[in-house]
Amino acid sequence: MRTKIVAGNWKMNNDLAQTETLITELKRQNNPSDVEVMIAPSFTNLWQAFNSLKDDSIEVIAQNMHFADSGAYTGEVSGEMLKSLGIKTVILGHSERRAYFNETDELLAKKVDAALKNDIRVIFCFGEELKDRKSEKHEDVVGNQIKNALFHLEAEAFKNIVLAYEPVWAIGTGETASPEQAQDMHSFIRKTLADKYGKDLAESVSILYGGSCKPSNAKEIFSKPDVDGGLIGGAALKAEDFFAIANSF
Ligand code: 13P
């Protein structure tokens, strides 16, 4: 049985007071027992969030990290630093990091290695742009993003990898991939993993969908056999919506 996951990527939203308010609301919601629920606040609020949720089943995770453990990288945060807070999961490869901060597959491969070295599980994001889908290159693009950043890893490492398919054209646009489009891509991703590492490993890795996922469409998307949960942006900023999604399996 693969782990079901619903993770809220708060992106650059919520100051300290807003973080505390949202966490108070999240604590009031019913947390499904068979789903790992996570939130990713910004770095400045991680410690506060982590402590507020210490005795709760909601896991606090990070949105990014640097590949080095320490050094002259002004403005960056390392895996060692996250680990010292007790953070056990990090999102890497988000399309916003790729687009606005020039994160390449090569850089992401280094970040993945650094996270795993620090015993931090990786939610690895990837996804095609609209032009790729229109030219029917979406599978090539996604296949290459996965191969370039992850296929240097030993099979063992995939115990600590979660994949998140986030088509760029669906992020923050209100336009969601149809459940069939999500299933087709997730099945392709699993086949890509199986070709390299074997079927058993491919069947064990959780693959999340992200991109305008909301209470009204989560149920249908999560009902697809290769969709193991969601990485949620906008809808994660409202406790009720986030938990409606977490309860959509
Ligand atoms: P939205 O749910 O706002 O489309 O964002 C998805 C996302 O980027 C999660 O990482």
- pLDDT tens-digit readout, 3-20: 999 999 999 999 999 999
Nearest CA to ligand 1 atom 5: 233
Looking only at Cα atoms, what is the longest distance across the chain?
48
Catalytic residue among 36, 59, 66, 94: 94
Q: Hey, which of 13, 94, 171 would you mutate to test ligand 1's pocket, going by the most ligand atoms within 8 Å of its Cβ?
A: 171
What average pLDDT is seen over the chain? 97
**DSSP secondary structure code for residue 170 in this structure:** G
Beta strands in 108-228 (DSSP E): 121-126, 161-165, 207-210
The finding on whether 210 has its CB within 6 A of some atom of ligand 1 is yes
CA 145 → CA 95, 124, 166, distances in Å?
Answer: 11, 10, 12
Planar angle of CA 194, 105, 176, nearest 5 degrees: 70
Nearest to 158, CA basis, from 188, 101, 198: 198
pLDDT tens per residue, range 26-76: 999 888 889 999 999 999 999 999 999 999 999 999 999 999 999 999 999
pLDDT tens per residue, range 211-245: 999 999 999 999 999 999 999 999 999 999 999 99
Nearest to 92, CA basis, from 33, 13, 7, 154: 7
Contact indicator for 236, 39 with CB cutoff of 8 Å: yes
Residue 191 Cα to chain centre, angstroms:
20
pLDDT tens per residue, range 149-162: 999 999 999 999 99
Sole residue written with tokens 């991939």: 177
- Residue 174 pLDDT grade (very low, low, confident, very high; cuts 50, 70, 90): confident
**CA atoms of 233 and 134, how far apart (whole Å):** 24
Above 90 in pLDDT, residue 1? no
Residue-level pLDDT at 200: 97
- Residue type for position 7: A
Ligand 1 atom closest to the CA of 234, numbered from 1: 3
**CA atoms of 139 and 132, how far apart (whole Å):** 9
**CA atoms of 225 and 182, how far apart (whole Å):** 10
The finding on whether 9 has its CB within 6 A of some atom of ligand 1 is yes
Residue-level pLDDT at 31: 83
Question: What is the signed CA dihedral for 205, 94, 176, 88, rounded to 10 degrees?
Answer: 50
**Pairing assessment for the beta strands 59-60 and 4-9 based on DSSP bridges:** unpaired
The CA 171 to ligand 1 mean position distance, Å, reads 5
Q: Where are the alpha helices (DSSP H) in 58-104?
A: 79-85, 95-100
**Sign of torsion, CA 168 172 177 182?**
positive
Sole residue written with tokens 């999102």: 91
Residue-level pLDDT at 231: 98
Q: Tell me the mean pLDDT in the region 123-150.
A: 97
The CA 173 to ligand 1 mean position distance, Å, reads 9
**What are the beta bridge partners of residue 78?**
66
Higher pLDDT pick, 83 / 175: 83
55: its two tokens:
């005795």
pLDDT tens per residue, range 79-117: 999 999 999 999 999 999 999 999 999 999 999 999 999
**CA atoms of 168 and 96, how far apart (whole Å):** 9
Ligand 1 atom closest to the CA of 214, numbered from 1: 2
